Amino acid sequence: MEIFHNPPEAEIRELLSRTHVIAVVGLSPKPHRPSHQVASRMQQFGYRIIPVRPAVDSVLNEKAYASLRTVPERIELVDVFRAPQHVDKIVDQCIELRLPAIWLQDGVVNPQAARRARDAGIKVVMNRCVYRDYVNFFGTAPHS
C-alpha cells in the first residue's frame, strides 16, 4: 500500500487561514449527514460554501453545481465527502481546473489519487476533518 503523508500542521493551518471559498463535493441536503453538518459549521465561521452535488438545486441556501467544472467562480479548496473510489475523477477535475487545494475528509483515503494531485502542484490533506482542524487551530472564532 502506498504511504501518504499530510502536510505539516503549520501548512494545514495556513491553508485554512488563507482560504475563503470551499467547494464541497458530495454535500448532502440532509441536515443529519456529516457533510451537511461540517459545511454548515464552516459557513457559520465565514467561509463561502459552494455545494457540488448533481440532482439538487441548492444546499445551505447556496446554488448547487453538478461538477467542479460547472462552478462559475474561483474555488480555493475542494472538500471531498465521497467514497475513495470516486476521488480519482475529482482529482482529474482539480488538475484540469488548476485548483490549489483538495481536502479528503475523514475516511476518504486514496493515496494514489492524493499523490497524483500533489505531484500536479495541488496542496492535499487526506483523512482529516476540515471542521475539527479549524476548531483545533482557531477555536470557534469567525474566519477573517
Q: Enter the C-alpha cell of residue 4.
A: 501518504
**Residue for grid cell 449527514:** 33
| 130-138 helix and 34-45 helix, angle to the nearest 10 degrees | 30
Contacts of 120 (CB under 8 A, 6+ apart): 94, 95
Q: Per the domain annotation, does 3 fall within a domain?
A: no
Measure the N-to-C terminal CA separation of the chain; round to a whole number of Å: 39
Which CATH number is 64's domain given? 3.40.50.720
Q: Per the domain annotation, does 49 fall within a domain?
A: yes
pLDDT for 143: 85
Tally the C-alpha atoms within 13 A of residue 132's C-alpha that lie toward its C-beta. 8
Cα 61 from Cα 30, distance rounded (Å):
13
Domain region containing 74: 9-138
pLDDT for 87: 98
Q: Per the domain annotation, does 1 fall within a domain?
A: no
**Residue for grid cell 499523490:** 115
Q: Per the domain annotation, does 61 fall within a domain?
A: yes
- Give whole-number Cα distances, 58 to 40, 117, 122, 126, in Å: 13, 28, 27, 26
Q: Per the domain annotation, does 52 fall within a domain?
A: yes
Q: Per the domain annotation, does 144 fall within a domain?
A: no
Q: Per the domain annotation, does 143 fall within a domain?
A: no
State the Cα angle at 5 between 13 and 118, rounded to 5°: 80
Cα 59 from Cα 20, distance rounded (Å):
18
Q: Per the domain annotation, does 80 fall within a domain?
A: yes
In tens digits, what is the pLDDT along the chain, a chain of 144 residues? 568 999 999 999 999 999 999 999 999 999 999 999 999 999 999 999 999 999 999 999 999 999 999 999 999 999 999 999 999 999 999 999 999 999 999 999 999 999 999 999 999 999 999 999 999 999 998 987
What pTM was estimated for this model as a whole? 0.96
- Total count of domains within the chain: 1
pLDDT for 60: 98
